[in-house]
A = this chain, B = another copy of it.
Amino acid sequence: MTTIHDVARISGFSLGTVSNVINHPENVARKTRAKIEAVMVELDYSPNVMARNLSLGTTRNIGVVLPNNRHPYFSYIVDGIMEAAFPTGYRVSLLPTNYDEDIERRYLRELQQKAYAGMIFTSRQLPLDELVRATRFGQIVSCENVGTRAISSAYSDRLPTYEQALRWIKESGYTQVALMVQRGGEDSETTRDLLQAYRNVFGRELADSRLRLGIANRRDGYDAACFLAATDPAVDFVLANGDDIAAGVYMAYKDNGQKIPGIMGTENQLSSQLLHFPTINHHLETLGHIAFSLAIREGVRHQLVKSDFIARN
């Protein structure tokens, strides 16, 4: 590997001068600069990033913590982040946690060690306070509402949109609603919002058996729907956390030859357009976009991304 030393030696100038043509070219005489640059080209030199980072004490890396690589929720956010990162020259590292708190903590340590300039939590298991404490080491952005905590966030106002969606369901005459989500209300803010919206609109608690947990993909949706169809035929509407999942529900009822209930999903994926069922669009790419820009900027800021309900019949 050719280093800055080689360039110095061969060009006949000192280390410091070579470093200056890289970092402060305005402080170097035109002629020497030209010579040194020529040598750099000749040797095919380019500065070692690791050394540079160590010396500077910073990187241009952003870590994106995601519990789950499969769920479209996260893919959409990542898409938005990538798009925003590209023109800035920042690198983004994907940091999967598999919903493991200890692994999240390990990533936080890497932030502490300056492996990343900032970190985006698309979701989290760790107590919020641990994140807040870690902001000393680098910028941290949450993709969920953090209230007034001292941590930047780009988040969706899910509750009003959920209410709107559930009102639509109610007004369409459905009364026996089942929900499919990944994590329960204790773990997930989204699920909490959804249950709250249900309460607000229907004026009662959702029966436990009508909240199907652990649903992450279309296959899960299919299986859960088979179960519902067999054990709870009264259900006349299924709201799932993703259009593809909702499509799985559709296929299950169809394959079982049962009357297909009303269905609704989220993210306005292709499947809801093909099957023409309503959906909730959280605008996750926009959210990723904003999350990235917060991650590379100092200070705490909270930014709301409005979601919306798309009615279809």
Q: Which residues of A contact B (CB under 8 A)?
A: 1, 46-51, 53-54, 59, 61, 69-70, 75, 79, 82-83, 86, 91-96, 98, 109-110, 112-115, 137, 218, 244, 247, 251, 270-271, 273-275
Contact = CB atoms under 8 A, between A and B. Distances in A.
Contacts of A1: 112-114, 137
Contacts of A270: 218, 244, 247, 270-271
Given A1-B112, A46-B113, A91-B94, 18 more contacts: A1-B137, A46-B112, A48-B54, A48-B113, A50-B53, A50-B54, A50-B115, A51-B54, A61-B93, A69-B79, A69-B83, A70-B79, A75-B75, A82-B96, A92-B93, A247-B270, A247-B274, A271-B274
A174 to B, nearest CB: 22
A94 B86 CA distance: 10
A57 to B, nearest CB: 8
Copies of this chain, count: 2
Contact of A94 (B70, B82, B251): B82
B50 A114 contact: yes
A253 to B, nearest CB: 13
Contacts of A59: 50
A37 to B, nearest CB: 16
Given A54-B54, A92-B94, A49 B83 contact: no
17 contacts: A46-B112, A46-B113, A47-B113, A49-B114, A50-B53, A50-B54, A50-B113, A50-B114, A69-B82, A75-B75, A86-B96, A86-B98, A91-B94, A92-B93, A218-B270, A271-B274, A274-B275
SS of A interface (majority): helix
Contact of A113 (B49, B83, B86): B49
A7 to B, nearest CB: 14
A247 B92 CA distance: 32
Contacts of A93: 61, 91-94
Contacts of A218: 270
Given A48-B114, A50-B53, A93-B91, A251 B273 contact: yes
Nearest to A137: B1
B49 A115 contact: yes
Nearest to A244: B270
A14 B118 CA distance: 33
Contacts of A69: 79, 82-83
A283 to B, nearest CB: 16
Contacts of A70: 79
A249 to B, nearest CB: 12
Nearest to A217: B270
